[in-house]
Amino acid sequence: MTNLLIQLILPFILSAIIVIIITVIAEKYGTKIGGILGTIPSTIIIAFIFIALNKGTDFASKSAAIVPSEMGINIIFLLTFVNLSYKSIKLAFIGSMIIWSILSSILFFIDITNIYLSITIYFISTFIIFYYLEFIKKIPSTGKIIIKYTIKKIIFRGLLAGTIIAISVLLSNTSAILSGIFSVFPAILSSTMIISLKEHGADFAAGIAKSMIIGSVSVMSYAITIHFLYPIVGIVSGTIFAFIISLIITTTLFLLRQKIR
């Protein structure tokens, strides 16, 4: 019971804080910075620590193999959300979740356990969709926005993100493939997009989505690192080393952000 509560409470609190920080940074400093910093590994760390503790490092390593390809599906989720966001929030959320569910189900039945195939799927998806948003649709990044913050507004952001992510982490501790899929359930992505769209409109949401696509490399690299290191060095060392690598990648992307439109 205590373990279950920890698995729910920690992701809830952490994700609520993260989404609040992401949206505030994006509003104050622009979508480039908010989107990139918003994809620093967070709930995936908690999810895989508990998966490894409950099921073992070999199980966690196998689960992590599908994460890159699932991140590729998350990129498609963002594309769908962006395209539908110009119609309505409800349509954008429902439509993108339907696409995510269909594609994730396909991944589940294919039973991808080859990390290299998974990485290939991620890069193909990321390249095509970023190229489409950057050079065809020409989505611009948005600068800072003047906004008056209230306690009610901050609480809403935290509750929305925390609830979605607590549910996704709870579902992550199942089979190896499902664990990998739900460990990167687009909870922070969806809650950030909903808040951005609701408060600032479709253009702002599209701008932050484009930056999140680039920033997703850090989450993907985290999964790859624990896939190889968990069985060799264990949970603590594997987690620390994977997080350091993801931070290096995030820092590099942050320094290169001016290259994005």
* Confidence at residue 257, expressed as pLDDT on a 0 to 100 scale: 61
> How crowded is residue 240: how many other Cβ atoms within 10 Å of its Cβ?
12
Using 50, 70 and 90 to split pLDDT, how confident is the model at 94? very high
Q: In this structure, which amino acid lies at residue 177?
A: I
Cα–Cα separations (whole angstroms), residue 55 to 43, 49, 59, 88, 226 = 18, 10, 6, 41, 15
Q: Averaged over 137-152, what is the pLDDT?
A: 63
Phi, psi dihedral angles at 65 (to 5 degrees): -65, -30
Q: Which of 41, 35, 33, 32 is nearest to 14 (CA)?
A: 41
> pTM higher than 0.85 for the full model?
no
* DSSP SS3 for 49: helix
Q: Which of 76, 87, 43, 48 is nearest to 187 (CA)?
A: 43
Q: Averaged over 31-59, what is the pLDDT?
A: 76
Q: Which of 36-45, 95-104, 157-166 shows the highest mean pLDDT?
A: 95-104
User: Does the structure show a pLDDT above 70 at 11?
Assistant: no
User: Does the structure show a pLDDT above 80 at 167?
Assistant: no
Q: What is the distance, to the nearest Å, from the Cα of residue 172 to the centroid of all Cα atoms in its chain?
A: 14
